[in-house]
Amino acid sequence: MRRLWPLVLSSFISTFLPAAFLWGVASRSSENAYIDPNVCASCHLGQHEGYQNTGMARSLSPAGPFLSRILGEKTATFYHQPSDRHYTVFRRGDQYFLRRHQMRGENKINQLERRIDLVIGSGNHAATLVHRSEQGKLLELPLTWYSASGGYFAMSPGYDNPNHFGFRRQITDKCRSCHSAYPQVPTGSDVAPIDCQRCHGPGQRHLDSISADAGIDAIRQSIVNPARLTPARALETCLQCHLETTSRPLPDSLLRHPREIFSFRPGDPLGDFRIYFDHPNDHPLAEKFEVNSAGYRFLKSSCFRASQGEFQCISCHNPHRHLRGEEMGAKTRAVCLSCHQEALSSVAAHTLDSDCVSCHMPKRRSEDAVHVMVTDHSIPRLLPDSDPFHPQDELENARRAVYRGPVVPFYPPDFPSSPEDRLYLALAQIKDDANLASGVAALQAAVEQLETKNGYYYFELAKALLKTGHQHKAMRALEKSLNLNPNDQAACQVLGEVLLQRGELEKAIQRLESCRQNQPVDAALETTLAVAYGQRGELEKAIAVLEHVIQKDPDRVSARMNLGTALERKGESHAAKEQYREVIRIQPDSGLAHFYLANVLLSTGEEQEAAYYLQKAGDLNPELRERSRQALQELKRSQ
C-alpha cells in the first residue's frame, strides 16, 4: 500500500480552540488590584464563614479531600459501552488516579493513566475530575461524579458518545473564568475557587481606604456592593457567570474584542464586555433546558419581565449563605406572596403557606448534562407534561440540538445597532456555522462599512469563507488579517495550510517560517510547517520540528501521526509503529491511526496483526471501511 506524505491535521477549523491558561492578564487598574480574599474575613467574618458553605466557594478544589470523602480507600469502576472503554478511579499513596483500558480478548490494551489533581464543581450536583499535565495545562478527564442517587461516576458532559475527547480536552479560559478565582488574585495558587472579589470587584482600594482611615463614605465607595447598584447592574453581577443561552454550538455569546476573558468588573455594563445570542423565539430550541440555564430562563420568565427588572437573583438567593429546607421555602414563598397574595385568595388549591417552588420552579433533568437535575428558573405556570426526571440520551439530545438558521441577539435587551454591533451580529451567524451563507455576506458588509483595523474580524471572515468554498477570497482576508496583526500565529497557520492545499509549497514554508519567529510558537503552526518540510522531502527537518511539538504537547495526535509517516519514509519502521501505537493509546477511536499502523505492519510481514488493525480501522472510520475491506481481501488472497 503506497502512501504519499499525509496532511494529518484536523480540518483547519479544529485548530482554533482557545489556548488554555494564558495567565499574562493584567488588571485594568494598577490602583485597584486584587488581594488575598482571606483578608476580607478580618472584617467580614460572618459573611466569609457562611460563604464557605456555598457552591461558589467550592467551584474548584483539590481532588484529594473530595475523593477521600466519597471513596476513601475504595476504587470505583465504570464501563462506557459506546466507546468500549473501561475506567477505574483508585488511590495510590496520598493521590488519586484515573486509569482507562480496553479489552482485546483476555488482554487489557490501550491503557492510559492520569493523576486526578482537581475537581471542578461543588459536588452539590456534580464534580468533574481534572488532571494537570507536566506542561501545566489543565485537562478535563472523561469521568464526573454525580450526586444523584447517593452518588456515582459516569461520563462527563459531552463525553457520552463513541468518539469523545478522552484525556485531551483542555479546560479553556472561558470555562475557568466562572469556576475559579481570577488569575490576578494572589491566593498562592493558580487554582482557587470563586472568591469575594468576583461580586465585589478588586479589593486593594478598599483595603487602602480602611488603612488610611478615610471615613465611612469613602470606605464604602472603594468597593462594589451589588446591593447599591442599579437593578440591571446588580443582576449582571450574577449573570456574568449564570447567563448561558446554550452550551451547544450557536454561539451563546461573543466577547467584545479585544476584551479579555478575565476583564469584567462588577458594576460595569455586561453588554460592554460580552454580547449574548439565542435561537429565534419561534424555534423549538428556544425552550431548551440546560444545566446552566438558570439566568437565561429567569430573564425569559413572566415574573422577571413583569417586575421591570426589580425581581433579582438575590430576591431569593443569599450569595453569602446557602439557604436550605424550610428557611429557603419561607423566603421564596414570601417573594411570591409579595406579588401574588391577593390573587391567591381566589384560588382554592392555594394557601398562604403553600410551597410555591415545588410546582412553579420544579427540578428537571438537564438536556446537556443528563445526570443532573436542576431548578427551572422560568417559573412556569404549569408543570411540564412529560416526566421531568425521565432518563435522557445525551447523544440523541445533541443531535436534536444541531441548529441551522438565523442567530438573534438576546442580551443586553436593548441590543444597539451601531456598525460595530452589526459586525458582532454577523459574526454570530458564522462562528459555529449556524447561518453561514447569510453571515458571510453580512460580515463582509460590516467589515467594509466599519473599515476596521482589527485583524481578528478578517480572520473570522477568512475561516467562514473557507467553510463556504471561497478559498481565493479567504486568502485575501487572511493576508489582510496578518497585515493588521503580523503576530497572529493562528491566522498564519491557516494561511500556510491553504497554501499547501493549493500546491504553493515554497510560499507556504516561507510564510510559516516567518511566523515561527514569534514566541511562543503555536503547536498547530509548527505541525503544519513540519508537513510542508515533509512534502519538500526534508524529513530530518520535519522530524525535528514534530519532536519539538510532541515534547511540548505529548498528546498532540496530528504531530504523532505525521512523525510516524516521516519515520516510515526514512525506513524506520519500528519507530513509526511506536508513534502510531501511541496515537491509538491516546485516542483509541482513531481509525486513521489503526489504518496507518496496519500499513506498516504489512511492510514488516506482521500480517495477522495487520489484519486486526485493518478490521478496527474500518469499524471505527466509515470513510476507511471500503479501503480496509479491500486490503483485507488482498491479504487473504496473498496467504
pLDDT of residue 356: 87
Name the DSSP letter for residue 179: T
pLDDT of residue 14: 32
Where does the pLDDT of residue 28 fall: very low under 50, low under 70, confident under 90, or very high at 90 and above? very low
Q: Three-state SS string across 283-324, please?
A: CHHHHCCCCCCHHHHHHHCHHHHHCCCCCCHHHCCECCECCC
pLDDT of 355 higher than 60: yes
d(CA 164, CA 141): 11
Contacts within 8 Å (CB) and 24+ apart, 63-70 = 63/96, 63/116, 63/117, 63/118, 63/119, 63/129, 63/130, 64/94, 64/95, 64/96, 66/119, 66/123, 66/127, 67/91, 67/96, 67/116, 67/119, 70/145, 70/151
d(CA 616, CA 598): 10
pLDDT of residue 182: 86
Q: What is the mean pLDDT of residues 400-429?
A: 94
HSE of 288 in the Cβ direction (CA atoms, 13 Å)? 29
Q: How many CB atoms lie within 10 A of CB 74?
A: 9
**Residue type at 172?**
T
Q: Summarize pLDDT for 564-604 with one digit per residue, the tens.
A: 999 999 999 999 999 999 999 999 999 999 999 999 999 99
pTM of the prediction? 0.91
Q: Which residues is 115 bridged to in the sheet?
A: 97
Angle formed at CA 334 by CA 332 and CA 338, multiple of 5 degrees: 120
Q: Summarize pLDDT for 316-327 with one digit per residue, the tens.
A: 999 999 888 888
Name the DSSP letter for residue 112: E
Q: Summarize pLDDT for 44-103 with one digit per residue, the tens.
A: 999 999 999 999 999 999 999 999 999 989 999 999 999 999 999 999 999 999 999 999
Of 239, 621, 279, 289, nearest to 432 (Cα)?
279
pLDDT of residue 165: 95
Where does the pLDDT of residue 24 fall: very low under 50, low under 70, confident under 90, or very high at 90 and above? very low
The rounded percent of the chain whose pLDDT value lies above 70 is 94
Q: What is the mean pLDDT of residues 374-378?
A: 95
Q: What is the mean pLDDT of residues 353-362?
A: 86
d(CA 130, CA 98): 10
Of 542, 595, 169, 589, nearest to 580 (Cα)?
595
Where does the pLDDT of residue 17 fall: very low under 50, low under 70, confident under 90, or very high at 90 and above? very low
pLDDT of residue 350: 77
d(CA 75, CA 61): 20
Q: What is the mean pLDDT of residues 512-523?
A: 90
pLDDT of 116 higher than 50: yes
pLDDT of residue 240: 97
Domain ranges of the chain: 30-211, 224-339+356-400
pLDDT of residue 10: 40
Average pLDDT, the chain: 91
Q: Which residue has the higher pLDDT, 445 or 17?
A: 445
Q: How many CB atoms lie within 10 A of CB 255?
A: 15
pLDDT of 558 higher than 80: yes
pLDDT of residue 282: 96
d(CA 361, CA 382): 10
pLDDT of residue 188: 65
Q: What is the mean pLDDT of residues 199-218?
A: 94
Is the distance from CB of 528 to CB of 512 less than 8 angstroms?
yes
Where does the pLDDT of residue 8 fall: very low under 50, low under 70, confident under 90, or very high at 90 and above? very low
pLDDT of 18 higher than 50: no
pLDDT of residue 184: 77
Where does the pLDDT of residue 109 fall: very low under 50, low under 70, confident under 90, or very high at 90 and above? very high
d(CA 563, CA 545): 9
Q: What is the mean pLDDT of residues 116-123?
A: 96
pLDDT of residue 436: 97
pLDDT of residue 571: 96
Is the distance from CB of 85 to CB of 75 less than 8 angstroms?
no
Cβ density class 221-237: b for 16+ within 10 Å, e for less = ebbbebeeeeeebbbbb
Q: Summarize pLDDT for 612-624 with one digit per residue, the tens.
A: 999 999 999 999 9
Compute the Cα dihedral for 278, 171, 294, 201 and give only its sign: negative
The backbone torsions φ and ψ at residue 40, rounded to the nearest 5 degrees and listed phi first, read -60, -30
Q: What is the mean pLDDT of residues 417-446?
A: 95
